[in-house]
Structure 1
Amino acid sequence: MDQDEFKIAQNNSDDSDENDSAEDEVPDYRQLASFTNRKSKETYIPRRGEKEFEPSGLKIQQKALDESRDAMFNAIDGVRQSSNKNISIGLWSNAHSRASIIIQRGTHFSSIGHPVRNTPSKREGNVEKVASETRMELLPEEALYMVERGSLLCYEYEWSDNNDKMLKLSTNDSAVDERVAGLAPFSAQRAFDCCIGKDGLTLEKYTVYAQLKRLGYIVKRAQQQQIKPGEQPGLLGRIYNTLKGIVNTIFSPIASFVRLFNFRVTTLLGSRSSFLRPHQNYDSIFKALRLTPWGYNDTPEVSTRLSEEQQHEFDVTWDIWRPSSKFRKSAPPPPDFRIVVVDTHKSSLPSLEQFAHIFSHQPYSQPPLTRKQKLAKEKEEKNGKKPELAVSEISWFSRWWNRKQLAADESNRKKSPAVMFPALKHGKRAVVFAIVDSGTTSWIQFGEGQFGEFPLY
């Protein structure tokens, strides 16, 4: 190691030590008193205090702890205020587990909520019905998040159907105040009581949802169809599953032997073995030495080893998009990440069979572009040039006619480090596990590796 490298390593170690010491420090909650004291006009961000690991037995230490604790409780006990010009008004129904918006304000609804259209109906006797209109409904996590952050004033009301006159949209605050005069408004505590446990929402799932929303991500429920463990298939479904299990049990050894024999023969004849014709390059030599299959190609067989509860234990919970993505609720693009929420008190990490089942339900994703590829793509879009078509987008006749050239181009492309390393790091199918342990969330990304698809020699 030369002198320059030693200085760089020393600077990196100094930075890591400073970061570790900063993480060990705890905030001094006594500084929060300035925010709750109305007489103080100056406001500033509280600074971190020094952390003491052992009690010293001195009264000054106990006094500092008491003042810090009292300041924290006083800050939490403060009444949050918001302007009526930016707050929306909605009605929460425990039977429907939805919040219907009657006054819509703010830009939150560009990514929150889903439109519901009232069915048109005529006036029936003395019962007043609303006309056909499109209103906004919020899921439990969306309503709870907006109530918690002070952007929604929600009232409890059990509407009978979509034509209830209480659901009529309005822009007049006084008219809405008269309409909801006899209803009880939601508090944050009441919102947690009503929303948690409804429509599959748990406290761990909401913790992850709220954290991602505060960071600016767009979060929606996963579109993957989930079957509850308690639901049983019908008579035809049970007969089909029984016959499928019997056939798999009988023909599984035969199918395994046929696959092994076919793989060995194909490898022997497809490679340039010594007794057929001599090797001409290193690629043919290493391909001939690759005799062990890789990956899970028979996913249905793996899924049969899992029970119904194990198959749906790690279903994708949230689909999220980056804040900079062009998101439209009517036609959302493919999500940037797929989140699986795991409660450490109820589950552990998935087994190998469960990982294979999880990845089988995820679409294939392209690895992230490198900086050089992003610049080249932006340059092509700026100049109006069409990007080169991928092999999968070329017609089958062109692929068959130019199969040798396309195979050689694909092999050379996979040898490039700019293509190989991002693909190996990201995986062809990936999910992110949000592991919640008593309110603390840890993030781990798992990807299905594709080491067998790249020439690592």
Structure 2
Amino acid sequence: MDDSLEQPSLIAPKADEVPLEDDDQSSGDEDGALDWTKLIPTVARPVMPKRGEKEFEPRANGGTNLQLYILNRARKGISYGIWYPGFGRTHVTVAHGIHFSTMGHSAPRPFVDENGASKTHKRLELLPEEAIYLIERGALFCWKECNMDLSSLQGFEGFAGVPMSVQQAYAEMIGRENLTLDKFQVYAYLRRLGYVVTRAEAPNDSYPMPPPFDLSKPKPKASLICRIFLPISYILSRARRVFTRSFSWWKPLCLSRWLYHDYASIYRSLRFMSAGHDNTLNRPVPTTLVASYSPYRIFFNVYKPSTPFKKTAPPLPDFQVVVVK
């Protein structure tokens, strides 16, 4: 023990002058373990994340004119829709923004007019993944068919209720039209990156589809000189092979230089399956058979942000995505 520590004094020793070996040894002897509290610095404190400064603060007696103006302007930029659980679509009644240039499709639906006559009109509808994506972004107010509150809007008098929350949209729309949670996560991730994502298989007859891929490889066209001299060179090579071939016990089909049989032609005549680069063995399987047993089905068509995209006539996709858990 140090002599300076045994004598009483009014001045406390400095931290660097006090030996730490005795404390460590005593704690190790008493507890038999390390002091884990020394690993965490004392200055570390949890800090709430900041998402930016607000333009105004809420008031207890109600909003100011600036608050009401910003809220009304935000409401004018939001789209409105109605979710129909019967056929798994969201009917967009009021469309705002640029989202609908690449999302949604026009679907004919029957209705009864004021005179009682049955007619058909086209309306903008969203698939479940498109509706959930817009609801999450805050770009769409969606009401359920039996729970709507659009009385303040023109043409929607008589409805009551509140818009669907994000949780309710997940519960209502996940599982409809072959949409799983994994597929929606892939869809939302690609959309946030700027890609245009559509279905690879049409969910109904009115859904626009791109043209099919041309899988046939075009054969290179030979030049005019090659087409003229190729038969002549083939005849000369066959004639040279006939007149110069000698008999060999290893090739008994070559009986003499005047009588010669080509092994390739014999094997070709015995072949019962087509072969070669032009005739592949992997024949395309019908889509109905693939859908019955294969989990690796193409579900999304993906277009780059720079690809010119027309919603009514989409071009060939840049990528095709299979979603597998």
Find the residue that maps to 2:110 and give its secondary structure. coil
Change (3 A) 1:310 1:173: same
Name 2:97's counterpart in structure 1: 106
Q: Which residue of 2 aligns with 1:189?
A: 167
Counterpart residue identity of residue 299, structure 1:
N
Q: How does 1:263-282 map onto structure 2 within 5 Å?
A: 276=241
Match of 2:37 in 1: 57
Counterparts in 2 of 1:123 and 1:208: CA distance versus 1, 3 Å: same
1:41 match: none
Q: Could you tell me how far apart the structure 2 residues matched to 1:116 and 1:309 are?
A: 25
Give the AA of the match of 1:322: K
Q: Give yes or no for contact 1:314–1:340 (8 Å, CA) kept in 2.
A: yes
1:311, distance to aligned residue in structure 2 (A): 4.3
Contact 1:94–1:158 (CA under 8 A) maintained in structure 2: no
SS, match of residue 83 in structure 1: helix
**Secondary structure in 2 aligned to 1:142?**
helix
C-alpha contact (below 8 Å) 1:95/1:158 kept by paired residues:
no
- Higher Rg: 2
Is residue 2:46 matched to residue 1:67? yes
Q: C-alpha displacement at 1:122, in angstroms?
A: 3.7
Higher relative contact order (CA 8 A, sep 6+): 2
Match for 2:77 among 62, 86, 106? 86
Question: How many Å separate the matches in 2 of 1:177 and 1:60?
Answer: 60
The separation in 2 between residues aligned to 1:295 and 1:194, in whole angstroms, is 50
Distance, in Å, in 2 between the alignment partners of 1:89 and 1:191 is 14
Cα distance, 1:330 vs structure 2? 1.2
Counterpart secondary structure, 1:334: coil
2:134 is matched with: 146
- Report the CA distance between 1:174 and its aligned residue: 3.3
Question: What amino acid sits opposite 2:153 in the alignment?
Answer: S
The Cα shift of 1:86 comes to 1.4
Look up the match of 2:190: 212
Residues 95, 295 of structure 1: CA spacing in aligned structure 2 closer, same or farther, 3 A cutoff? same
- TM (norm. structure 1) is 0.38
1:331 aligns with 2:316: no
1:321-360 residue CA offsets vs partner (Å, 9 max, x unmatched): 11111111111111111011111xxxxxxxxxxxxxxxxx
Q: Return the match for 1:297 from 270, 276, 280.
A: 280
Report Cα offsets for 1:286-320 as digits up to 9, x if no partner.
xx9xxx967992224x969xx86674310101001
Aligned residues: 209
Q: Report deviation, 1:57.
A: 3.3
TM-score (norm: length of structure 2):
0.52
- Matching residue within 146, 151, 154 for 1:175: 154
Give 1:176 deviation, angstroms.
5.6
CA RMSD of aligned residues (A): 4.4
Residues 205, 155 of structure 1: alpha-carbon distance in 2 compared, 3 angstrom cutoff: same
What amino acid maps onto 1:153 in structure 2?
Answer: F
1:222 aligns with 2:200: yes
1:61–1:208 CA distance, 2 compared to 1 (3 A) = farther
Distance, in Å, in 2 between the alignment partners of 1:309 and 1:329 is 26
Question: Residues 131 and 60 from structure 1, CA distance in 2 versus in 1: closer, same or farther, beyond 3 angstroms?
Answer: farther
Superposed displacement of residue 179, structure 1:
4.2
Cα distance in 2 for residues equivalent to 1:314 and 1:175: 47
Alpha-carbon contact 2:301-2:320 (below 8 Å) kept: yes
The superposition leaves residues 89-136 of structure 1 with CA deviations (integer Å, 9 ceiling, x where unpaired) of 1111222211111111111111100112343644367xxx99864321
Residue identity in the other structure for 1:93: Y
SS at match of 2:324: strand
Between the aligned partners of 2:175 and 2:145, the Cα distance in structure 1 is 18
Change (3 A) 1:183 1:176: farther
Q: Counterparts of 2:153 and 2:111 in 1: how far apart (Å)?
A: 26
Conservation of the 8 A alpha-carbon contact between 2:128 and 2:177: yes
Q: Which runs of 5+ in 2 are unaligned?
A: 1-34, 51-70, 204-233, 243-263, 265-274
SS in 2 for 1:134: strand
Describe how 1:16-415 pairs up with structure 2 within 5 A.
57-58=37-38, 60=40, 64=44, 67=46, 71=49, 83-119=74-110, 121-123=112-114, 133-158=121-146, 174-175=153-154, 178-180=157-159, 182-223=160-201, 276=241, 297-300=280-283, 311-343=293-325
Task: Give, in angstroms, the shift of residue 63 of structure 1.
Answer: 7.8
CA distance in 1: counterparts of 2:111 and 2:292, whole angstroms: 45
Give SS of 2:188's match: helix
**Which residues of structure 1 form unaligned runs of 5+?**
1-54, 73-80, 160-165, 226-268, 278-287, 344-457
Contact 1:92/1:158 (<8 A) preserved: no
Decide whether the 8 Å contact of 2:108 with 2:123 is kept in 1.
Answer: yes
* Aligned AA (2:93): I
The 2-side partners of 1:61 and 1:206 are apart by 42
